[in-house]
Amino acid sequence: MSLIHIAWRNFCHRALSSFLTTFSLALGVGLVVLVLSVYGVISEAFTRNASVGYNLVVGPKGSPLQLTLNSVFYLSQPIENLPYTEYMEFLPQAERATMVSRFGGDPELAKRDGRYAPFVAGGFAIPLALGDYFGEFRVVGTTPAFFKELKHGPNVDEDFTFRSGRALQDFSTENGYFEAVVGARVAKQMNVTLGEKFYPTHGDPTGHGHELGFTIVGILDPTGTPNDRAAFVNLEGFYLMDGHAKPVETDAESDNDSEDVLDEAIDAEEASDAEEANEGQPESDPNTNTEASANNGVRLIQSDITPEQANNLTDEKQSDEYRLLSIPEREVTSVLIRNGNIMFAPGMQNAINEGIRSQAVAPIGEINKLMNLIVGPLLTALLAITVITCAVAAVGILVSIYNSMNDRRKDIAVMRALGARRTTVTAIIVFESFQVALIGTILGWILAHAAIVMYSGQIEDQTGVQVGFFTTSNYEILVLPLVLALALIAALLPAWSAYRTDVGSNLSA
């Protein structure tokens, strides 16, 4: 008969006590595993969010964390904007020329490469314009490139896929400039379907509504990234919404002379002042600031068309009714950059950060900082508490086995009389403790993972991280050795007592 079998028999003999001890340990282990899983889910959610296929976010100077929260997570207070020309600095001459001719702006812009274009070559620069809301979700003005270039998934190699529909287009015959794609969670929570129109609200989730609606042409599959929580609209349509054009003063053309940093700084000030003035301005009273409203809002020529006429208009004609904003009127909140060659990233980041207007931030670094600063310590504290719970459970093992030692001295003496060594009877005690540890750990693991599976739907909804019964975090591997070590410590005292048991006096007792 093996010693483990002997230990098991002893375990079964005191079934109730063994069960209670094991169960209290299982609860402790379950808590630890649960915390570790939550930790795993959170850190995976964070890294997933950080691995979106771009390596830098460029935005206005300010808090790098806030820029990241805005651009990567679509969270936090809205930030300042950058002039469109800052975005154009990442583009090659040919693209800049197209923009100048399409939107209108300083012809000088068309004549050269963007300052950072060589660094980006082979990668991409995708503009984001934030500020509006669809329900509680951020509206993200961007270009079709967003869905073409950005990847996600653990290896950052998965394209965006659509549960239904397609990516938004710059211009389509059926919807003009007003196409939208919504993330999986937005679609679910706002209960919208393909073809529906939604009307972004301005400034904050409770802000007043814009008059222009965007037609939903695509609903994304869940990605486990903040993109699930965003409503994407075509940047051109976004600009056409009331209040989204930057007021342009006659001398604001100096904006294009981006070499002049002092002017840039002043422009930024003015731009933000004007923006604030616009935001404070109620929709119903568009004439307070005549200068702003002259260039402001939707260029929908509707005064002399009846609804019937509007319905009869052809798509092309409809598009003619809008004048796309000129370059000086345009702003972006941030630009997502992937350098064609990652080795150019640090140099470009430095160059941008040395400037006065923009900053370039590596989102992974910011996310890790956030993780290490806030989430990490919180979870560590939680983990410490649960480990203490386990230690308490281990004390339970100690008490349970030690209490049984009085009844067992005779058993030990008998085994010694049958030829068992001191070390053998000691080992049996340790095995018993290990047994409790092993069963408790397995039971606790099962309990925790069953709980996780029960909530896996919510977890995926909230974080996009898929968890199954056998999804384990790396740290969980450490639980068993840890508990076994605790069990060994708990067994020391009773084991020592077993080791010292006197045979003669206990045999006749």
Ligand X SMILES: Nc1ncnc2c1ncn2[C@@H]1O[C@H](COP(=O)(O)OP(=O)(O)O)[C@@H](O)[C@H]1O
Q: Which residues in this chain contact another protein in the complex, by CB under 8 A?
A: 1, 6, 9-10, 12-13, 410-411, 413-422, 424, 503-504, 507-508
Binding mask 446-485 for ligand X (x = CB under 6 A): ----------------------------------------
Interface with ligand X, residue 302, by CB under 6 A: no
* C-alpha pair distances (Å), 434 with each of 98, 222, 486, 493: 73, 43, 9, 14
Q: What does DSSP say about strands 162-165 and 214-220: parallel, antiparallel, or unpaired?
A: antiparallel
Q: If contact means CB under 5 to 8 A according to the sort of partner, which of ligand X, another protein, none does residue 102 touch?
A: none
214: β partners: 198
Q: If contact means CB under 5 to 8 A according to the sort of partner, which of ligand X, another protein, none does residue 410 touch?
A: another protein
Closest CB 437 distance from another protein, rounded Å: 20
Q: Which helix (H) or strand (E) holds 230?
A: strand 230-234
Q: If contact means CB under 5 to 8 A according to the sort of partner, which of another protein, ligand X, none does residue 505 touch?
A: ligand X
Interface with ligand X, residue 505, by CB under 6 A: yes
- Nearest partner of 246 among 264, 270, 262, judged by Cα: 270
CB 397 within 8 A of CB 19: no
Please state, in angstroms and rounded to a whole number, the distance separating the CA atoms of residues 60 and 70.
12
- Nearest partner of 130 among 9, 51, 219, 239, judged by Cα: 239
Q: Which is nearer to another protein, 347 or 504 (CB)?
A: 504
Closest CB 400 distance from another protein, rounded Å: 15
CB 64 within 8 A of CB 363: no
Closest CB 429 distance from ligand X, rounded Å: 23
Closest CB 409 distance from ligand X, rounded Å: 14
Closest CB 6 distance from another protein, rounded Å: 8
Positive or negative, the CA dihedral 430, 434, 437, 439 is negative
Q: Indicate the residue type of 70.
A: N
Q: Which is nearer to another protein, 162 or 499 (CB)?
A: 499
One residue of 504, 506, 507, 509 binding ligand X per CB under 6 A: 504
Q: How many residues bind to ligand X according to rule CB under 6 A?
A: 2
- Nearest partner of 32 among 360, 281, 304, 394, judged by Cα: 394
Please state, in angstroms and rounded to a whole number, the distance separating the CA atoms of residues 299 and 33.
58
Q: If contact means CB under 5 to 8 A according to the sort of partner, which of another protein, ligand X, none does residue 417 touch?
A: another protein
Closest CB 504 distance from ligand X, rounded Å: 5
Q: If contact means CB under 5 to 8 A according to the sort of partner, which of another protein, ligand X, none does residue 428 touch?
A: none
Q: Which is nearer to ligand X, 107 or 504 (CB)?
A: 504
Closest CB 432 distance from another protein, rounded Å: 11
Report the SS3 class of residue 398. helix
Closest CB 476 distance from ligand X, rounded Å: 51
φ, ψ (nearest 5 deg) of residue 133 = -130, 150
User: Between the CA atoms of 280, 283, 287 and 288, what dihedral angle is there, to the nearest 10 degrees?
Assistant: -20
Please state, in angstroms and rounded to a whole number, the distance separating the CA atoms of residues 229 and 134.
10
Q: If contact means CB under 5 to 8 A according to the sort of partner, which of another protein, ligand X, none does residue 411 touch?
A: another protein
E-state strands within 36-97: 56-60, 82-83
Closest CB 417 distance from another protein, rounded Å: 5
φ, ψ (nearest 5 deg) of residue 309 = -60, -40
Residue-by-residue DSSP string for 169-209: -S-BTTTBT-EEEE-HHHHHHHT--TT-EE-PEESSTTSPB
Q: If contact means CB under 5 to 8 A according to the sort of partner, which of ligand X, another protein, none does residue 13 touch?
A: another protein
Tokens 């929580």 appear where?
Answer: 229
Q: Which is nearer to another protein, 172 or 506 (CB)?
A: 506
Range 110-139, binding ligand X (CB under 6 A): none
Report the SS3 class of residue 101. helix
Interface with ligand X, residue 417, by CB under 6 A: no
Please state, in angstroms and rounded to a whole number, the distance separating the CA atoms of residues 384 and 361.
33
Q: If contact means CB under 5 to 8 A according to the sort of partner, which of another protein, ligand X, none does residue 343 touch?
A: none
Q: Which is nearer to ligand X, 195 or 504 (CB)?
A: 504
Q: Which is nearer to ligand X, 16 or 509 (CB)?
A: 509
Q: Which is nearer to another protein, 4 or 65 (CB)?
A: 4
Closest CB 505 distance from ligand X, rounded Å: 5
Closest CB 391 distance from another protein, rounded Å: 28
Range 21-50, binding ligand X (CB under 6 A): none
- Nearest partner of 174 among 329, 62, 313, 77, judged by Cα: 313
Residue numbers of the site for ligand X (CB under 6 A)?
504-505
